[in-house]
Chain A
Amino acid sequence: MEPLRATATSTIALSLLLLAALLRAQGAPPAATPAIPLMLISRDARRPVPTTIVGGQELVALDDIATLLGVSLREDAAAGGITVTYRTRSIALSPDQAMASVAGRVVALPSPVRRNGRRWLVPLDFLTRALAPIYDQKIDLRRASRLLILGELRVPRVVGRIDATGPPTRATIEITPPAGVTSSVEAGRILLRLDVEALDMALQLGSAGLIDQIRAGDQPNTLAIFLNSRSGTPRVVTSSTADLTRVVIDVPAPNAPLDAAAPSTSVAPPAAAASTSAAATAAAARSVLPPPRTGLQTIVIDPGHGGTDVGARGAAGTEEKAITLEVARRLRTLIESRLGIRVILTRDDDRAVTPDERAALANNRKADLFLSLHANAASSPTVAGAEVFHLLLDREGEDARRRAEADAVSLPVVGGTARAIEAIRWDLAQASHVEVSAMLAGLLVDELGAHVPMGPRPRQQAPLRVLVGANMPAALIEMAYLTNPEQEKALQSDDFQSLLAQSIFDAITRYRATLEGSLQ
């Protein structure tokens, strides 16, 4: 009996040990803590941020983000996800997905969101890609320096080097962007105090010559240079350029005074360049467009597709990008010769141009009209006809249109003052023109309908990418279906192309007349 019991006991004990070992082995891949902690620097605090490295990616716990940055978390039992909310905006996350939905838009993350029971881990980039857009303070992640800077703080990069061991020993400290520096020498060390909130400094120089060590001081904005006890009186010379501040430290041997040669030419201290003005940041974040013009002086015609983007293709090999360019050129000739209006093409050769570049060209040239030319495609070869589109706004665009939103932005100008400029958000640029665009589309349908076959839905509204950023009345014309063999042949022919150009020209003539009030 005894030996049996002993066997049973040892079996259970061994099993428990094995269980423990298996649990450890079956768990998540081994997690590590990074050697240098990530430091959060905010206006009132300097705190380490606990992070974990899993599978080569540095992750931070959502609970820690909540505590440090004041966001709230809510798990969604039904969908299995979690929502991170700051003030009124939120981010939705799902476990094992490398993406986040930020106030309705999707951003990619470098690695999936992980969930261990109640503990959620997200990659560090979550802070800059997902949280920063909804946060009210700037979030600056400096990976190399292991710093997470919150808010509009001045945290210049500080690098140091020993130029000569001498004696005299020379060290140079460079601060980018420039900052005000005051130096003091006391008790065997030089203390540099910078006019900033914190330093981004990876250096810690060891001893060389008569300098024992250079490292960060006790305060977040100070640097200390420890001098050897057998050194003479040091000389500290600070100079600044537009890009950086340089501090040159010469440490002589005692009783060997430094010669008069100054290390470099001193430049006048920088004009408050260290701080980033809030206005400039806000302005950079918005796209600035001038208010719309009246009259019809410049028309931009946009031949659809181009370059690697061929567009639709007909059965006989006709490429949409070629047709759109040919018709655009015809139209330009007509308008310039008969109406005397300036015409600019978004491309005049076979090149790829992004939708935003096309709209930007029109905006920058202060065009009064934007017309995009395309050829259509369908699953059936019987579908035929021209169709005209103007922009369909989503809910946000509709709200903007109703408010006729235009924010006045105060921008600093050369000379030191500021000027109020009416600015419109890029992706709502077309919103204020939608009604006139609808009228324009109507005229195009009328004139095209009188000369060429029209499609099953001659006039439509759709969320078309190229129209979104155009800050003037705009329309997109699908001239015919390339997938229809007859229409493909027609699109290749001079006659049909001329008909199309003529119809559009006629519509523009009527449009100009409407603008000038000579027609009802």
Chain B
Amino acid sequence: MTRRLAGEIVVGLVLVSLVAWGVNVALERLVTPRIATGPDAAAASTPGQVPHITATLYYSTPDGEALIPVVREVPLAEGPVAQGRAIVAAQLEPATAQISVIPPGTTLRAFFLTERGDAFVDLSREVSTNHPGGTSAELLTISAIVNAVTTNVPTVQRVQILIDGKEADTLAGHVDLRRPMQKDLSLVRDEVQ
């Protein structure tokens, strides 16, 4: 074999390898499915850089008897599904200046919408196992989540809460979770802050 030929073979191999690597990277980017995680929006670094929307979230009144609507900044997301997810994630976060009605450790596992305008909010099991119990406390928790979605995501009429990926009989023994629920402001006191 001549040196010339050997050189060309080497060049050829190098070129082929470069093309292969480039194609590999490009295909990986195209094919990797986007996994829906919960509070990915909240991981945004500086608030100034990520666009936000103002949303109404629900927290406990100081006397613990009702809910109050509180206006907060929630990261902007594209489309009702992503925005709904961001809203629920924000509602689930423990808030420093507010009293949360969400049991500690509750995370959002999934959020999806049907074309009928029903949202499904899949929460981790802490929402049930860490709940203090009691009909009134359950109603406040559910009301906060249902209202957060229906108030801020206009296309959503009803919300069904799932626990750990499954339909649940009740949240913590009292309230029936087996069907989607509508916005209910009966437990909300009118003081938007």
Question: A96 at interface (Cβ–Cβ under 8 A)?
Answer: yes
Contact across chains for A483 and B132 when beta carbons are under 8 A apart: yes
Contact across chains for A382 and B64 when beta carbons are under 8 A apart: yes
- Identify 19 new A-B residue pairs, CB closer than 8 A, beyond the known A83-B115, A382-B63, A383-B65: A4-B8, A22-B27, A78-B79, A97-B110, A101-B120, A104-B180, A107-B167, A108-B165, A309-B173, A320-B133, A354-B169, A355-B170, A379-B132, A380-B60, A383-B64, A462-B135, A462-B174, A476-B135, A478-B136
Contact across chains for B132 and A312 when beta carbons are under 8 A apart: yes
Question: B47 at interface (Cβ–Cβ under 8 A)?
Answer: no
Contact across chains for B64 and A465 when beta carbons are under 8 A apart: no
Contact across chains for B19 and A18 when beta carbons are under 8 A apart: yes
Given known pairs A18-B19, A22-B24, A96-B33, the reply for A482 and B134 (CB within 8 Å) is: yes
Residues of A close to B170: CB separation below 8 A? 355, 465
Interface flags, A3-16, vs B, CB<8A=1, else 0: 11011001100110
State A375–B114 Cα separation when bound (angstroms).
37
CB within 8 Å of B: which A1-37 residues = 3-4, 6-7, 10-11, 14-15, 18-19, 22-23, 26-27
Q: Top 5 nearest A-B pairs by Cβ distance?
A: A380-B64, A377-B134, A312-B133, A92-B114, A376-B134
B134, closest chain A residue (CB): A377
Question: B105 at interface (Cβ–Cβ under 8 A)?
Answer: no
Contact across chains for A379 and B11 when beta carbons are under 8 A apart: no
Contact across chains for A97 and B23 when beta carbons are under 8 A apart: no
Contact across chains for B63 and A464 when beta carbons are under 8 A apart: no
Size bracket of the A interface: 35 or more
State A4–B8 Cα separation when bound (angstroms).
7
Contact of B101 among A92, A106, A379 (CB under 8 A): A379
Given known pairs A14-B12, A106-B120, the reply for A463 and B20 (CB within 8 Å) is: no
Question: A348 at interface (Cβ–Cβ under 8 A)?
Answer: no
Given known pairs A14-B12, A104-B180, the reply for A465 and B169 (CB within 8 Å) is: yes
State A15–B21 Cα separation when bound (angstroms).
10
Given known pairs A3-B4, A105-B179, the reply for A378 and B112 (CB within 8 Å) is: no
Contact across chains for B4 and A26 when beta carbons are under 8 A apart: no
Contact across chains for A463 and B101 when beta carbons are under 8 A apart: no
Given known pairs A3-B5, A305-B173, A312-B133, the reply for A380 and B112 (CB within 8 Å) is: no
Footprint of A on B, CB under 8 Å? Answer: 4-5, 8-9, 11-12, 15-16, 19-20, 23-24, 27-28, 31, 33, 35-36, 60, 62-66, 79-81, 99, 101, 110, 112-116, 118, 120, 132-137, 139-140, 160, 162, 165-167, 169-170, 173-176, 178-181
Q: How far is the CB of B48 from chain A (nearest CB, A)?
A: 30
Contact across chains for A15 and B20 when beta carbons are under 8 A apart: yes
Contact of A105 among B11, B133, B178 (CB under 8 A): B178
Residues of B close to A10: CB separation below 8 A? 12
Q: How far is the CB of A96 from chain B (nearest CB, A)?
A: 6
Question: A485 at interface (Cβ–Cβ under 8 A)?
Answer: no
A96, closest chain B residue (CB): B33
Question: A99 at interface (Cβ–Cβ under 8 A)?
Answer: yes
Contact across chains for B179 and A394 when beta carbons are under 8 A apart: yes
Residues of B close to A355: CB separation below 8 A? 169-170
Question: A81 at interface (Cβ–Cβ under 8 A)?
Answer: yes
Contact across chains for A81 and B115 when beta carbons are under 8 A apart: yes
Contact across chains for A105 and B135 when beta carbons are under 8 A apart: no
Contact across chains for B137 and A379 when beta carbons are under 8 A apart: yes
Contact across chains for B112 and A79 when beta carbons are under 8 A apart: yes
Q: How far is the CB of B42 from chain A (nearest CB, A)?
A: 22
Interface flags, A413-425, vs B, CB<8A=1, else 0: 0000000000000
Residues of B close to A377: CB separation below 8 A? 132-134, 136-137
Most buried by A among B31, B66, B173: B173
Q: How far is the CB of A214 from chain B (nearest CB, A)?
A: 45
Residues of A close to B179: CB separation below 8 A? 104-105, 394, 396, 463
Question: A311 at interface (Cβ–Cβ under 8 A)?
Answer: yes
Q: How far is the CB of A354 from chain B (nearest CB, A)?
A: 8
Contact of A380 among B15, B62, B167, B174 (CB under 8 A): B62
Residues of A close to B4: CB separation below 8 A? 3
Residues of B close to A330: CB separation below 8 A? none
State A470–B119 Cα separation when bound (angstroms).
29
Residues of B close to A481: CB separation below 8 A? 134
State A76–B165 Cα separation when bound (angstroms).
23
Residues of B close to A191: CB separation below 8 A? none
State A76–B116 Cα separation when bound (angstroms).
11
A91, closest chain B residue (CB): B114
Residues of A close to B27: CB separation below 8 A? 22-23, 26
Question: A317 at interface (Cβ–Cβ under 8 A)?
Answer: no
Question: A517 at interface (Cβ–Cβ under 8 A)?
Answer: no
Contact across chains for A311 and B173 when beta carbons are under 8 A apart: yes
Most buried by B among A23, A79, A309: A79
Question: A250 at interface (Cβ–Cβ under 8 A)?
Answer: no
Residues of A close to B23: CB separation below 8 A? 15, 18-19, 22
Question: A313 at interface (Cβ–Cβ under 8 A)?
Answer: yes
Contact across chains for A7 and B11 when beta carbons are under 8 A apart: yes
State A469–B156 Cα separation when bound (angstroms).
29
Contact across chains for A383 and B63 when beta carbons are under 8 A apart: yes
Contact across chains for A18 and B16 when beta carbons are under 8 A apart: yes
Q: How far is the CB of B121 from chain A (nearest CB, A)?
A: 11
Contact across chains for A464 and B65 when beta carbons are under 8 A apart: no
Contact across chains for B115 and A92 when beta carbons are under 8 A apart: yes
State A19–B22 Cα separation when bound (angstroms).
10
Question: A455 at interface (Cβ–Cβ under 8 A)?
Answer: yes
Given known pairs A7-B11, A22-B23, A26-B27, the reply for A79 and B113 (CB within 8 Å) is: yes
State A106–B122 Cα separation when bound (angstroms).
11
State A26–B115 Cα separation when bound (angstroms).
32
- A-B contacts, 28 of them at CB < 8 A, read A7-B8, A7-B9, A11-B15, A18-B16, A22-B20, A27-B31, A79-B114, A81-B112, A81-B115, A92-B114, A94-B112, A97-B112, A106-B166, A305-B173, A313-B132, A320-B133, A355-B169, A375-B134, A376-B135, A377-B137, A379-B140, A380-B64, A382-B63, A394-B179, A457-B65, A465-B170, A481-B134, A482-B134
